[in-house]
Structure 1
Amino acid sequence: MRKLLMIIIVLLVLGGGGGGAYYYFVVMKNTENTEAGEEQGQKEAGKQEHGEEQGHSEFVELDPLILPIVDNSGVSQVVSLVVAIEVPDQSSKDKVKAMSPKLKDAYIQDMYGMLNQQAALKGGVVQVAMIKERLNKITADVMGKDVVGDVLLQVVQQRPI
């Protein structure tokens, strides 16, 4: 009788584990795919960029920019930025890659001056919106307005020294 009871308990545990695995891996995955597909469809239907329908975009990620913040007592902080540039097509991507040294130079010159004048700091914290706005302006000046769609800040890290 004990053996029969043990076999029944083992079968119930294995059946419950199998049923749980089926539910988790099959049923839940199907509902996630359905929900994700609906959300993605809604997002794609509603997306517009700068008044135009959004097509396929390419992204060019630049090397990290490391900028010191200098005050009266010397270097007080270091700000690291990782910038990605959104372009509409492959030819624009190639142009941005070719001009990336000039872009980085323009970024460093502008950001170094702005950060050291404390223009982009509020309470000692970097104002990301202001930095992004300036990077967009610099990029449009260097590359032209038709070449670049947007400048994206991937990482903004501020470290005291």
Structure 2
Amino acid sequence: MKFSAGVLLFRRTSGIEVLLGHMGGPLWARKDLGAWSIPKGEYDPESETARVAARREFTEELGLPVPEGEWIALGEVRYGSGGGKKELTVWAIEANLDTAQVNPGTFEMQWPPRSGRMQQFPEIDRAEWFDTSVAHDKLGAGQRPYLDRLTDQLAAP
């Protein structure tokens, strides 16, 4: 099992909007629905806590520190199958972030496949604010439960 942690920023406009990142690299370049993600990444639970990893990964993916605010625990979700099982832990923070300031980190992969040539690509190629109904379609299925959990948390007295 792989462990990931992330931070879901939200802001209140006429409703609730969340900040998502479009996954970078050539495999996602022409995809939209299901190609967006909560800023997150993997960590080793033996050497780092989920919250520390969430903060680090947010900064790596967006090139910006996590904004100040209350960390609202949204819990864990397990998804994937076979050797690709993941446990994702997410916190929400109410904050505004100017997407024009995003300066994503990069990763390296062989591209084109079997070419022997390594290239660098951005972790995310853009970040945008979406209302929760649009975000539901943009996110991969494994991350969608966090939208309901956020909405439930904000509606609680």
TM-score (norm 2): 0.25
Of structures 1 and 2, the one with the larger relative CO (CA 8 A, separation 6+) is 2
Query: Which one has the bigger helix percentage?
Result: 1
The TM-score with structure 1 as length reference comes to 0.25
Q: Max radius of gyration: which structure?
A: 1
Q: Which has the higher strand share?
A: 2
